[in-house]
Amino acid sequence: MRYMIWVFALALCMAIGSAWAGDAVNINTASASELQKVHGIGEKTAELIVAYRNDHGPFKSVDDLEHVKGIGKKTLEKIGGELTTGGETKD
């Protein structure tokens, strides 16, 4: 029974997270200061993301951030839900 409650709670959290995806920051258009609004992205990382984008072109997916120095799988798991490669960045 506890397992079923846990699964339901996890599914609910995922659904709520999807609803908030409309407020995601677009890593292909966001400035360094806009990227810093994402919990887990500091000034240096934001600047590295913008520099990588300028050098290599737009990101095809959020997973491409793993190519940016300082962003590994664990970091991407934490911040990935707040990022997108399409749409406009919300203020």
Q: What is the pLDDT of residue 67?
A: 96
pTM listed for this prediction: 0.71
Question: What domains sit in the chain, N to C, each tagged with a CATH number?
Answer: 22-84 (1.10.150.280)
Q: What is the mean pLDDT of residues 60-80?
A: 94
* DSSP collapsed to 3 states, the chain: CHHHHHHHHHHHHHHHHHHHHHHCEECCCCCHHHHCCCCCCCHHHHHHHHHHHHHHCCCCCHHHHHHCCCCCHHHHHHHHHHEECCCCCCC
Model pLDDT for residues 14-68, shown as the tens digit of each residue: 655 544 545 899 999 999 999 999 999 999 999 999 999 999 999 999 999 999 9
